[in-house]
Structure 1
Amino acid sequence: MAAPDRAELRAQLVRTMIAGEVATPRQNNLLHFRRMAARNPYYLFGLDLKRSWTERDVLEVMVERCGVNPDPMHLYGDDTIDPELTLDALEAMGDRIGRAARRAEPVVLATGHPATLTPVYQAVSVALRASGCKVLTPAAGWSYEIERYHGTEPRRIVYAPEGVAMVEDGDGRTQHTHDPFPMEAMLAELAAESADWPDLAIADHGWAGAAGEAGIDTVGFADCNDPALFAGAAEGKIDVVVPLDDGISSHHYAPMTAFLLDRAGLG
């Protein structure tokens, strides 16, 4: 796909509701903001945030960095993501990926949204490999248990083609996850083996939070109900967070991917 220009991509992002008026309910956003402020680990994505974040603080950083509705009395209905902020962050992400390509840096790629974002990561991985980067794939098969209402369920690290990390359940189905533990396990294995250490992580959810917490340059994607990465960016732990609806049909991200690679000089 030929890369769209900024105006063309902006129109496509708004049309597909990746940005602009999005389908994420405001009440869900506010609930997640409240839980992050309360330090619920599931909503911190592995980040050890240093500030004392109040609910108002979280709303303010989400207005600034994501473009949600700034009215604290907007309690119900849909919310917003500012497409200009999305485009600015895509350009910054592209710049950092381009630098990784020019330096042939070791990288890790991982997603907690395998059903929707995997093709984006795969395209970036292919381009980085072609430029000489080493895509690291540690801790394949590492497993852990998560708590569920009916007991526990297994999760284990698997890699999609092109070296994109994700987790699957005991039946081999890939799963959405906020957990930082898989990225922590990947980095622990690399450290224990004195193997290549990633100069860049391209990720989302807990994969990104754990990488940023470990001091790795981290760029990633986050929805407007995922405030932790934006707070992490405000504290300097995450380099770039691209605000977008991360649950749209995967083919709608193709123009964004082409724009990102073109910005990186890898189109």
Structure 2
Amino acid sequence: MTPGPPPAGAPASGPPTSGPPTSGARPVTREQLTEHLLRRRLAGPRVPTSRQQNLRSYRLFGQGDGEALMGLEPEGRWGPGAVLALMAERCGVRPDFSYGQGPDTIDPELTLAALDRLAALLSRTARRRGSVLAGTGHPTRLAGFYGALVGALAAAGCPVRTPGQGARLRIPTPGGDRLCLVDRLGPVLVLRALDAPPRSGRLGSGPARGAGEDLQHTHSALPVRLAVAALAESGHPPPDLVLGDHGWLCGAGRLGLAAGGLADSNDPAPFVGEAQGTVDVVVPVDDGAQPGCYRLLSDYVLQRAHL
């Protein structure tokens, strides 16, 4: 049973799904992290997301598809060619349309540079004791990564916000609207589908209570809008930093909030938001790996942020 929600502005209770490195942890070198990215296919010349998936997403983004836009309002026109050029620059995918199928690329050097920028964003937030809100559209994969960052910020004196728990909302998905509940995994807000079919197993294993089969993958920006509105209704200001992906990133940026997180090569919206200046930091990385694969990334970010 889902526990009753605390007050909207209260710090998250309980341990994060993955903690920061201890003071005795050995430093993660850039060489070690590069090797890890390549070995786990989080980045490199043969990431799991195919070229066909990438090109389809770029085309849908240019057509204004809601799933592809993730709550972003693009400035100007973004045809498939413009999207591909940006993704080649920011993510490292193959830059020409003559390559139409097969594996695609995420440049690990771009991943490392973006992780450094994310670390700088966390460091600035920690210095000012800014409040933080985290949410993910990949609850079975990325909640541990964001939980580690939030746990370290909380230890540095940053208030952690977990508003809107228990609220219900309908979100659009490729299979139709789903009725969902706002819940959390550690300090990270997630959605649970209330109408999920039993024992579906379609979301795989992850850092979830029980089998996690009701945890909802989503591109929607509605959850972050609901969370920020819940803070306002309870008399709290907006968070100083939003950590997340998909609609959490794009929706926070559209609200004028500082935002940083991860995005795959078939998710152009956060990268367009970063190029427009509405999203602060987007880290190009495959977002469908097993949760433990992201631990070294969070360790590296916290190390670079001196957290």
Place the TM-score, normalised by the shorter chain, in its bin: over 0.9
Residue 300 of structure 2 aligns to a residue in which SS? Answer: helix
- Aligned partner of 1:165 in structure 2 is 189
Letter in 1 for 2:72: L
What is the TM-score when the length of structure 1 is the normalising length?
Answer: 0.95
Deviations 1:63-115 (A, max 9, x none): 00000011211111010000000000000000110111111100111111111
Deviations 1:175-203 (A, max 9, x none): 11101101111111222333132111111
- Aligned partner of 1:3 in structure 2 is 27
1:44-55 equivalence runs, <5 A: 44-55=69-80
Give 1:150 deviation, angstroms.
7.5
- Aligned partner of 2:105 in structure 1 is 80
1:16-27 equivalence runs, <5 A: 16-20=40-44, 21-27=46-52
In structure 1, distance between residues paired with 2:166 and 2:180? 9
Letter in 2 for 1:63: A
In structure 2, distance between residues paired with 1:149 and 1:92? 33
Letter in 2 for 1:59: L
- Does 1:63 find its partner at 2:88? yes
1:222-233 equivalence runs, <5 A: 222-233=263-274
* Aligned-residue CA RMSD (Å): 1.5
User: Gapped runs of 5+ residues in structure 1?
Assistant: none
Q: 1:151 to 1:181 in 2, by over 3 A?
A: closer
Residue 175 of structure 1 aligns to a residue in which SS? Answer: coil
Q: 1:27 to 1:108 in 2, by over 3 A?
A: same
In structure 2, distance between residues paired with 1:4 and 1:145? 41
Deviations 1:96-150 (A, max 9, x none): 1011111110011111111111111111111111100011111111212245687
Question: 1:106 touches 1:196 (CA, 8 Å); kept in 2?
Answer: no
Deviations 1:154-174 (A, max 9, x none): 11211111x101101115721
Question: 1:179 touches 1:207 (CA, 8 Å); kept in 2?
Answer: yes
Give 1:151 deviation, angstroms.
6.2
Alignment coverage as a number of residue pairs: 265
Question: 1:2 touches 1:258 (CA, 8 Å); kept in 2?
Answer: no
Q: Which structure has the highest strand share of the two?
A: 1
Letter in 2 for 1:110: G
- Does 1:12 find its partner at 2:53? no
Question: 2:171 touches 2:222 (CA, 8 Å); kept in 1?
Answer: no
- Aligned partner of 2:281 in structure 1 is 240
In structure 2, distance between residues paired with 1:28 and 1:224? 9
Give 1:249 deviation, angstroms.
0.9
Question: 1:3 touches 1:255 (CA, 8 Å); kept in 2?
Answer: no
Q: 1:159 to 1:148 in 2, by over 3 A?
A: closer
Residue 144 of structure 1 aligns to a residue in which SS? Answer: strand
Q: 1:79 to 1:148 in 2, by over 3 A?
A: closer
- Aligned partner of 2:57 in structure 1 is 32
Letter in 1 for 2:67: Y
Residue 53 of structure 1 aligns to a residue in which SS? Answer: coil
Residue 140 of structure 2 aligns to a residue in which SS? Answer: coil
- Aligned partner of 1:201 in structure 2 is 242
Letter in 1 for 2:69: L
What is the TM-score when the length of structure 2 is the normalising length?
Answer: 0.83
Question: 1:110 touches 1:164 (CA, 8 Å); kept in 2?
Answer: yes
In structure 2, distance between residues paired with 1:224 and 1:149? 19
Deviations 1:198-249 (A, max 9, x none): 1111110001111010000111110000000001111111011000000011
Higher mean C-alpha deviation, range 139-148 or range 33-42? 139-148
1:213 to 254, 264, 278: 254
In structure 2, distance between residues paired with 1:154 and 1:113? 17
1:103-114 equivalence runs, <5 A: 103-114=128-139
Q: 1:149 to 1:259 in 2, by over 3 A?
A: closer
- Aligned partner of 2:293 in structure 1 is 252
Residue 78 of structure 2 aligns to a residue in which SS? Answer: coil
- Aligned partner of 1:136 in structure 2 is 161
- Identity of counterpart residues, as a percentage? 40
